[in-house]
Amino acid sequence: MNIEKKREFIINTVFYAFIICMALIVCKYLVPILLPFIISFIMASVLVIPAKKLAGKDNKARRFCAIMVGIAFFALLFWGIAFLGVALMDWFLGFLEFIPRLYQEEILPLLNFLYLEATERLTFADPELTEKINGVFQNFVGNIGNFISSFSMNAIKAVTSGIAGIPGLIIKLILMIISCFFFLLDYDKVMAFFFSLIPKGKEKAFETVKWYVTNTLLVYIRSYSLLFLMTYVELTLGFQILGIPYAPIIGLMVAVFDILPVLGTGGILLPWTVVLLVMKNIPMGIGMFVLYLIITIIRNTMEPKLVGKQIGLHPLATMISLYVGLKVIGFWGMLIFPTTLAVLSSMKKEIQEREL
């Protein structure tokens, strides 16, 4: 009996290992190729809901409503992209011109101040140490200066290379739009085809997994999109009140940094506060710290309500899954691995609650 159990365990282990390997191969090699169709299917899955509500029970009107909803969605989407794109490009180009001036007027005086403070305290202690610190400081300042001076050129080159890839992006965009309309028009047939691929007897398990995945993805996308938008608006308004130039661009950078687990806005705002206080800019330093407190309080208040405890992951688990996903699959692994971990965690918690 024990031999049979061991054999069954080995067979199951090999089977699930094979499934995991196949899933990783698909995610790494097929997902990037099929990405336009995957995105279009996800959009169609969302847009089909209002289309069905508009059509009601009239099956003949459903296709017409699907086309109208799709046209309205893409019209709003492209208008928003064009409006925000022009504004962000204007801010970005101005920000590139602002960086060298920021280095000369703010960063370099701070480094000189810290250097003078350090050398004054160490001159009487060890002159040789002071000389070494001077050499390190000069190299450090030189490296930063070179980086700042080349930053704008590298950024412009990156934008230029991005522009060169626009034709390929347009092709993918056209494919995505056309396939989205096809998915919308024949959504029920597409779903019926997918369900026909499920082995008999596994329909219930598939439905359960589908519900968990859909529910978790929707909660994550909705919740963290709202949190990101809230943080960005708070940062932009706060920076504008403090008189910081190019507040929308800097606010966007800090808001993106805030998405990373463990780090958050404190990883930038707190060191910034310390620098301002060291430079004896007390009002700005206090204002920066108050901004950090406001953002932290609002986020800690809203996050449990928006995200929900049922899919909450420990920051360390999130960070590990992000790193492993990046190393195993690449960029898409940073999305797939945390989401999969969240789905499994959500399923485990609900099963445990049912058993109690």
Q: Report pLDDT digits (tens) over 307-340.
A: 655 455 666 677 777 777 777 777 667 667 777 7
pTM of the model: 0.62
Kindly list the distances between the CA atom of residue 102 and the CA atoms of 96, 97, 114, 306, in Å, as whole numbers in the listed order. 10, 9, 17, 38
Q: What is the pLDDT of residues 283-307, one digit of tens each?
A: 888 998 999 999 888 887 876 666 6
Nearest to 52 by CA among 196, 184, 239: 184
DSSP-derived secondary structure letter, 260: S
User: What backbone torsions phi and psi does residue 87 show, to the nearest 5 degrees?
Assistant: -65, -45
Question: Is the Cα torsion angle 175, 176, 177, 183 positive or negative in sign?
Answer: positive
For CA atoms 309, 314, 319, 324, give the dihedral sign: negative
What's the alpha-carbon Rg for the chain, to the nearest Å?
27
Residue 310 confidence (pLDDT): 47
| Average pLDDT score over the chain | 75
Length of the chain: 356
Residue 40 · residue 183 · CB < 8 Å: yes
Quote the DSSP letter at residue 126.
-
Predicted local confidence at residue 271, as pLDDT: 83
- Whole-number pLDDT of residue 237: 92
Nearest-angstrom CA–CA distance, 239 and 237: 6
Q: How far apart are CA 78 and CA 41, in angstroms?
A: 18
Encode pLDDT of 24-67 as tens digits. Answer: 777 777 777 787 888 888 888 888 888 888 877 777 777 888 88
The single-letter DSSP state of residue 199 is P
Residues in the chain where the model's pLDDT stays below 50: 310
Element containing residue 313 per DSSP (H, E): none
